[in-house]
Every structure is written in C-alpha cells, then in structure tokens.
Structure 1
Amino acid sequence: MRLLLDTHVLLWWLADDRRLVRRTRQIIADPNNAIFVSAASIWEIAIKAGLGRLKVDVDVLASGLEANGLMSLPIAAAHAAAVFHLPLLHRDPFDRMLIAQALTEKLQLVTRDPQFAEYDVECIAI
C-alpha cells in the first residue's frame, strides 16, 4: 500500500500514542507499505509549535522522517492546482492539501478525520 499520514497520525506514530490503534500501527510498520509524510504536515506542525500549541523540535522531526521509515512528500505545483478542483466541504488548507496530494499521487490517507471520507479520496480510518 501507498499511504499518506494525516498530521495527527504522524504525531501519534512518532510519540507511540495509544490513540493510534493496533491495526493502524501494523499497517504503518509494515515494510511492504510506502509511508509518506507531506511537507504540508511539517509546515502545520511548525506553525503550531511556533504558536506554543505543540512541543516539538521541528528540525529534528523533519530531518528524522527517513530514520523512522517515512518518506517526505514535497508540495508540487500539481498538488496546489489540484486543491482548486476539490469541493469546498471544509476550509482547513492543510487538510485540503493532503487530500489533493493523495488524489494526485494515488495514495490512501490515514486519518481520524471523518470529513476526509466526504471527498473522493481513499482513506484508512483509525
């Protein structure tokens, strides 16, 4: 499987948070799966850390993705353009970018957000 982690899933995975159910942990840990993290997620985390809402060393997080078996997914012009074609079901720009990236790159989104299912994107709900 080719998976894109929602921002909260990334944080829970790295923190070994129990809100991430066993089935999801197994899917992420499976070496046969390609696990991607969007630059948009790192950007969102950086903003929240800068506002004091998260205690995360963003530099360590960004540089440690590969060491944790994760692949970085940059934001490309095609991803940004794909956001235009999404229905305006909600306004979170980071979520909309993740959905656009998943659709463009043919990735399944791993998320707890039920709104993602309203888009035409494959999701693995946790």
Structure 2
Amino acid sequence: MILLDTHAILWLDAGIEIIPAARERIEEERMAGGVLVSTISAWEIGTLVRKGRIRLDLDPSAWMQRFLAGAGLRSVPLSVAAALGASSLPEPLHGDPADRMLIATARELAIPLMTRDRLIHDFAASTDAVQVVAC
C-alpha cells in the first residue's frame, strides 16, 4: 500500500508528469487495491479551491468522488491516533497541518507516503518512523 500526498493526487488527475518509478509503483499498488487517499487531502483540496489557489473542473466533492472511483483507490479516514500523532511530531518538521496529518497517517499504517515535499523527505531521512516515495 501507499498513501498519496495531496499534490500527487492533483498531479495524477491533471496528467502532470511524475517520476517514472513513482508511476510504476502507483500502477502496482492499484492492481492490489492499495493506493490510499486520506480524507485530509479531501479537506486540503476543498480549502485550496475555496482560497482560489487551485481550480477544478467540478466542485471539490464531485471531483474527489470521481478521482476515488479510479480502480485501486481507497479513501482512509484520519484516525484519532494519527491526529494526536501529528500534534507530537518533532519540530521543526512542517508547519502545514495537512502534511503533518498525512505523515502521521502513513506512520500509523506503516506504509510509505508518496510526496515530492523536501521537508517530508528530510524528516524521513532523519528517522525510521516514516517512509517516503519520491514522485
């Protein structure tokens, strides 16, 4: 299994090129039904639309439903354990609460987080608590 960072979700939907190894990993995980999308990413996408930072061809709810309808994609809720885990990640890690919750969710599920975020990659390199896959 693998958890997608919000930007990876947006890039996949838009057809923006990602690293070939990441694309292969996503296809492998899709076949096994193991590509996870956090409800935190849904919240983040809705927030980005509201703030005018991104535009979608549908309202965020319909857009997310269409994205999740793709074969091998599953949503995963934010658990209480991950929410609390996000609040206790070491500083200075990341000021973005969505990224902190995605990291904590990946840690809780013991699966990699697919991201291009340099701060998350640096954190993963400094600890064995979370794995990342570059995209």
TM-score, length of structure 2 as denominator length: 0.84
Amino acid at match of 1:91: G
Q: Contact 1:65 / 1:71 at 8 angstroms: preserved in 2?
A: no
Matches within 5 A, 1:1-126: 2-18=1-17, 20-30=18-28, 31-32=31-32, 34-56=34-56, 57=58, 58-69=60-71, 70-88=73-91, 89-117=93-121, 118-119=123-124, 120-126=129-135
Can you list the C-alpha shifts for 1:28-53, whole angstroms capped at 9, x where unaligned?
A: 12213600011111111101101111
Q: Give the gaps of 5 or more residues in structure 2.
A: none
**Structure 2: distance between partners of 1:108 and 1:39:** 17
Q: Give the gaps of 5 or more residues in structure 1.
A: none
**Structure 2: distance between partners of 1:65 and 1:72:** 10
Amino acid at match of 2:88: H
The Cα of 1:90 is off from its aligned counterpart by 1.9
Amino acid at match of 1:35: V
Runs (4+) of structure 1 moved beyond 4 Å?
Answer: none
Amino acid at match of 1:52: G
The Cα of 1:68 is off from its aligned counterpart by 1.2
Q: Contact 1:48 / 1:54 at 8 angstroms: preserved in 2?
A: yes
The Cα of 1:80 is off from its aligned counterpart by 0.7
Question: 3-state DSSP class of the match of 1:68?
Answer: coil
Instruction: Decide which moves more: 61-70 or 99-108.
Output: 61-70
**Superposition CA RMSD, Å:** 1.4
